[in-house]
Structure 1
Amino acid sequence: MSSHSLEALQSRYGDRWRWFAVATVMLGTMATVLSATIVNVALPDIMSEFGIRQGKAHWLATGFIAAMTTTMLTTGWLLDHFGIRKTLASAMLLFSIISVAGGFSQTPEMLIAARIAQGAVAGLMQPMAMYLVFRIFPRERRGQAMGIYGMGVILAPALGPTLGGVLVDQLDWRFVMFAPAPVTLLGVFMVWKFLPRPVAPLLSYPFDLRGLVLLALTIVCSLDALNRLQAPAGNGLWIGAGLMGAVTTLVLFVRRERRVKHPLLQVRLLRRPSFLFANIGAVALGLALFGSTYLIPLFVQSALGFSATKAGLLMLPAGIVLGMVFPIAGRLADRRSPRGLIITGMALFALSAVLFALSDMTLGFAWLALWAVIGRIGLGFMLPALSTAALNPLEPHELGYGSGTINFTRQLGGAYGINLVALTLEYGEHAGSLPTIGAFHTAWWLVAGFVLLALWPVWRIRP
């Protein structure tokens, strides 16, 4: 019997091995989400050192999420061909190397390239956690497990700005690139210790490379067009070409995925109403999570004059409260209709965004921290319920592609959410090179509106 078969792990650790496995994949998730958000508090310092405007600097966040979104749909193929142990360990090791190399970047282009490479590897890692949870836990305990695992998804962006602020103020912005490496290196060790070898035989079928290229072109063309819209003078031809290219490649991608035998995106899964509506909710979750995490540090530093450390500390109470809410939300997801939990979470987050939109220069630190707490409680209710609503109806052999798809849609919402927020800020009023508080208010109203629009499809999820 292999020392890392399911039977051997259960014999060695008892029922605890499932939680060791969850802790292992949570490290990968925390590292990826930490990397996606920790850079936000360093943006003013990076802009100052390299002499770049917000329109270029936001690619440090958008490029990461766009790359992560593009590679997420490869998860099903990788798991079928190599199993979770080899794939996750290799991805964690590569992520560590890229993070350290990115910290030594000498130009903004090198730093953006490192962030894009980080995102591409992160996209391989993140769906594997959800896949593992739904494979090793029985149906009636999946919500609880997602509640524990989800702490890594939500706590990382809550605590990331706090850590980033301390690193920026006490050391240097480059340490925000170095920070995830120790986490993923520890993860490599834990993968080989706690994750099982593949139970089912590994499969062999061709990878949908053409589909991946078409998807990447769609995302890159559309995001490039949105980026150029921030400075439209002289860019009209490029903007039009980018939008046309995005629409064309999207149509070609959907046609291919419907016809190819082994598609990158299992379109047939989206024909199931609960799975489809949960994925629409995941788009709103991604926009809320990444849009607000990008916006809050920039808002309080640029418009309210906070230091990087104070901007990071603003998110600390939200992270602590979320740590208490998430396991409760996970247990509720096992016992109650996911629809009600998701709608409650959306309403709370929308309330938080509206409160930020009404905030002015006189509002104190404690009130702003409270607005952040309300929003994070809302996100805490959304994630476990969206996962159980989407994946519980699926068969075991569909979980790899299902987890990749819902992670993809969540990150897609994040990628476009950050771009829309950045576009709104760029078109708003500026004082020098920085957006005014009025521009930030408009961005907050935009985020609240998009989240509320998703209430209708979420309402159609079956209880």
Structure 2
Amino acid sequence: MADQSVEGLRARYGDRWRWLAVLTVVLGTMATVLSATVVNVALHDIMVEFGIRQGQVHWLATGFIAAMTTTMLASAWLLDRFGVRKTLSTAMAMFTLISLAGGLAPTPELLIAARIGQGAMAGLMQPMGMYLVFRIFPADQRGRAMGIYGMGVILAPALGPVLGGFLVDQFHWRWVMFAPAPVTLLGVWMALRFLPSPRSRPAPYMFDLSGMVLLGAAVAVTLETLNRLQDWPGDSVRIAWQGALAAILIIGFIVRERRAAHPLVRLALLREPVFLYATLGAMALGLALFGSTYLIPLFVQTSLGFSATEAGLLMLPAGVVLGMVFPVAGRLADKRSARGLVLFGIAMFACSAVLFAATGALVGFVWLALWAVVGRIGIGFMLPALSTGALNPLAPEQLGAGSSTINFARQLGGALGVNIVALTIEFGEHEGGLPTVSAFASAWWLVAVCVALAAVPIWKMRA
């Protein structure tokens, strides 16, 4: 049997082994982010086929992100217990099966359940990339490696709508559920071939199941409460009770984590100012990435009459430009202040959101594509700088918890962002049951303000 230790892999593949390992986790990351975004161009067709409104269909995006947010914190325990090779290969295999089941779902409820299952597996997969990069690369190469790894995080949202639009227009919206399966199948093979098995593991310890249950319940109730706000004031009593329950669950989770011997979230890391500020920045990054990826296809299809293919192609230039910029941003993260790079990214994205909000239907395809390019460049500068700025000061034994916490913050920002954006659209002006340009403009202004406010904690990060 082949030696799957770090030494054995290095002896077999040489120095290129590190990059083969990165490529493997990039496939997992691309599959998760692709799944999170590819469905967005299909939302209009799903609403029409099942006869549901935007207030329900947004759970296809929010449910995925919420499940992903909750389960990704289990990655640190899984890495300690089973190692990256077994954990990632198993998660990708399960993800493949759930994707196939979702494509065959006969009802919206089962489709949402499949999306939640996809999100749960994606949550286990996504932190693996950041963890692996910081374990196998020296400190002066991590920014470059994160730039390559981050291309999977960033390019997938750009390419996902293009692929989704083609599948919806040429085949059927169900094919967007099948689309990630070939990627994850290839990822299973590569994980078993190129990822290392640990020579030693920490002493076994209990998984923080109580913390996971409390966190999952808190996220679910919080998002459901936000969704219920569309029925305000008619359902005000239920909203108030759910809001109180969400607060109790959050407090219970914090108390549990402070007392647990092996907590799901190491709150002690948040006592480090740089890590805390980077975590807040990661939440803003999640809101920007997932909020804009949800908004753009729905906006141009619903209010401007674009086809699914046109909506996807609108994002393609942003993906191409970002593919060129992201490695540069990764190299800069090795040499420049993380604070300066993130602040530049925030300014670029906020500018993009303002342009979308201010111009709306007054500009054509080319200008809208340019606004998307501006926003994606901003996101590209934020991601590697936040990762290196947050994790470089940590000790090796803290990297698993640190990477899962940063990823959790990004996904939580995305889950809350998509839900708040959907709520803003639902409260906005509608014609014929569909939101108008004015409703989308309100959502864009909200995204711009939320991301701009993240500049405050980022400014406090030391250079």
Common topology (TM > 0.5)? yes
Task: Give yes or no for contact 1:34–1:160 (8 Å, CA) kept in 2.
Answer: yes
How does 1:48-67 map onto structure 2 within 5 Å? 48-67=48-67
1:59-138 pair list within 5 angstroms: 59-138=59-138
Say if 1:82 and 1:202, in contact at 8 Å, map to a contact too: no
Query: SS of the residue aligned with 1:281?
Result: helix
> What is the alpha-carbon distance in structure 2 between the residues aligned to residue 362 and residue 2 of structure 1?
61
**Partner amino acid, structure 2, of 1:100:** L
* 1:237 alignment counterpart: 237
Shift of 1:201: 2.4
Superposed, which structure 2 residues align to 1:155-304 within 5 Å?
155-232=155-232, 234-304=234-304
Aligned partner of 1:318 in structure 2 is 318
Corresponding residue for residue 144 of structure 2:
144
Range 226-235 or range 109-118, more displaced: 226-235
Deviation string for 1:221-266 (max 9, x for gaps)?
1100111111235422221111101100101110111111110000
Letter of the 1:92 counterpart = M
* Residue 365 (structure 1) aligns with: 365
TM-score, normalised relative to structure 1:
0.99
State the 1:428 CA deviation.
0.3
Distance 1:200 1:276 in 2: 31
Question: Are residues 199 and 460 of structure 1, via their aligned partners in 2, closer, same or farther at CA, if it must alter by over 3 Å?
Answer: farther
Instruction: Please give the alpha-carbon distance, in whole angstroms, between the structure 1 residues aligned to 2:152 and 2:247.
Output: 35
Deviations along 1:58-101, one digit per CA (max 9) or x if unpaired, are: 00000000000011111111100011111100000000000000
For structure 1, which runs of at least 5 residues remain unmatched after alignment? none
TM-score normalised by length of structure 2? 0.99
CA distance in 2, matches of 1:361, 1:88: 44
Structure 1 counterpart of 2:211, one-letter code: G
CA contact (8 A) 1:83 1:202 kept: no
Unaligned 5+ segments in structure 2 are none
Query: Is this contact kept in 1: 2:6–2:197, CA < 8 A?
Result: yes
Q: Structure 1 residues 352-361 or 200-209, which shifts more?
A: 200-209
SS of equivalent residue, structure 1 residue 251: helix
Q: Distance in 1 between matches of 2:446 and 2:362?
A: 23
What is the identity, as a one-letter code, of the residue corresponding to 1:324? M
| Secondary structure in structure 2 of the residue aligned to 1:361 | helix
CA deviation profile, 1:155-209 (whole Å, cap 9, x unmatched): 0001100100000000000000000000000000000110011143243100111
Could you tell me which residue of structure 2 aligns to residue 38 of structure 1? 38
Could you tell me which residue of structure 1 aligns to residue 341 of structure 2? 341
Measured in 2, the distance between the counterparts of 1:212 and 1:8 equals 36
Partner of 1:27: 27
Question: Displacement, 1:2?
Answer: 5.5
SS at match of 2:361: coil
CA distance in 2, matches of 1:401, 1:257: 13
- Match of 1:21, SS state, is helix
Assess if the C-alpha contact under 8 Å between 1:279 and 1:406 holds in 2. yes
The 8 Å contact of residues 360 and 441 in structure 2, kept in 1 or not, is answered as no
Percent same amino acid among aligned pairs?
68
Shift of 1:46: 0.3
